[in-house]
Amino acid sequence: MTALTAPASSDADAGLRPVPWRRMAGIIWRQHRYALIGEVTVLGAVAVVLWLIGTSLHHDYAAALACQPAGSQACAETALTFGGSFAFLANGGILQPLPVLIGAFVGGPLLAREMETGTFRYAWTQGFGRRRWALAKLVTLAVAVTVPATAFSLELAWYYQPYFATRNVAFDLTEMTPFYPALFDLHGTTFAAWTLAAFAIGGLAGMLIRRVVPAIAATMAVYAGLAFAVGAFLREHYLAPLVTTSSLNLPSSSWILSQWWTKGGAVVSPTAMNNVIDKTFTSLNPPEGSPGQKFPAYQSILRYLTEHGYTYWTRYQPGSRYWPFQWIESGWLLALSLICVVAAVWLVRRRAA
């Protein structure tokens, strides 16, 4: 019997199309639905709490604004007491862990779980190439993580707006400027940028460490170090600080970095300065009394000293630089995220199956 040969059906193989990108959407959802649902739940719960507290906060603020005559000294004072039992939210420290928790728990297991369980050998040998697979996952989840974070940061901006509008003395030491380290990265665009960066670091850490729980822990550690370094050291140098001698007239929205005295061009040490201030205090003999009256005494001493050869310098960032700083920080965080994502994809490509 003669074997029949049939020609290969050319249309089946010619122009072999890769699997379309949108097929990954279903896979990403099925593999990461719990992480995404968890993220939305946590942000949602915190958002509800903030909304409840923020509503009464804005109510108080509106009552303070309704004070007449506006701008008078008496009305300036009534705008200042936003506190009560929820003052612990005021300095923003409590909300700091949110970006890193989201980024670590969504980004860490992303590649690490495939590597740990060995399912990458299956996932990377489907019709969808491994590079496209990694890219599709990283980019889609990056967007899925950043969008709720952006929405949340809008609510945070609404919540803190009365504090900033009144330059509230919400806790013991200092007025609340938007530059305050624990608040700066909760506002504007930086909250979403930090969440994205945490996610990208998580993805890269997962690919490097190839175990899920260590990847999550490593992401948290790297993020904590980075956030601390930026808040304590880097942020004040985004733009060269201004230096001024009219320290007594600085608007209170400025972020004061350091202050020092000089006399005749030479810096005076703080201990020596304290002696000078003490002598001036006794010689000027301003009225004693409640702590409220110590301040005008201090002001008049400073004025007296500046008139007598001492100069009070301040190095500061003006409040008008708030948005440029936000853009700078978001920009380099975005660049860092891109580098981490590209590095993760390159590692995926490079790894021997």
Q: Which residues bind another protein (CB under 8 A)?
A: 34, 38, 42, 67, 71-78, 80, 85, 88, 91, 93-94, 96-97, 101, 105, 109, 167, 169, 172-174, 182, 212-214, 216-217, 220-221, 252, 270-271, 274-278, 281-282, 289-293, 295-296
In the bound state with another protein, the residue whose beta carbon lies nearer, of 221 and 335, is 221
In the bound state with another protein, the residue whose beta carbon lies nearer, of 104 and 136, is 104
Separation of alpha carbons 193 and 226, rounded Å: 13
In the bound state with another protein, the residue whose beta carbon lies nearer, of 135 and 202, is 202
At 116, which amino acid appears?
A: E
Tokens 């009464």, located at residue: 56
In the bound state with another protein, the residue whose beta carbon lies nearer, of 151 and 277, is 277
Q: Are 181 and 75 in contact (CB under 8 A)?
A: no
Q: Least distance to another protein from the beta carbon of 19, Å? A: 28
At 52, which amino acid appears?
A: L
Q: Least distance to another protein from the beta carbon of 293, Å? A: 7
In the bound state with another protein, the residue whose beta carbon lies nearer, of 276 and 342, is 276
In the bound state with another protein, the residue whose beta carbon lies nearer, of 265 and 291, is 291
User: What is each CA distance from 72 to 109, 176, 251, 278, in whole angstroms?
Assistant: 57, 21, 18, 33
In the bound state with another protein, the residue whose beta carbon lies nearer, of 193 and 216, is 216
Separation of alpha carbons 203 and 223, rounded Å: 13
In the bound state with another protein, the residue whose beta carbon lies nearer, of 221 and 243, is 221
Closest C-alpha to 198, from 238, 230, 246, 169: 230
Q: Least distance to another protein from the beta carbon of 230, Å? A: 15
In the bound state with another protein, the residue whose beta carbon lies nearer, of 75 and 154, is 75
Q: Least distance to another protein from the beta carbon of 63, Å? A: 9
Q: Least distance to another protein from the beta carbon of 290, Å? A: 4
Q: Least distance to another protein from the beta carbon of 274, Å? A: 4
Q: Least distance to another protein from the beta carbon of 292, Å? A: 4
Q: Least distance to another protein from the beta carbon of 109, Å? A: 6
* Residue 349 in tokens: 């490509």
Neighbours of 36 (CB within 10 A): 17
Q: Least distance to another protein from the beta carbon of 42, Å? A: 7
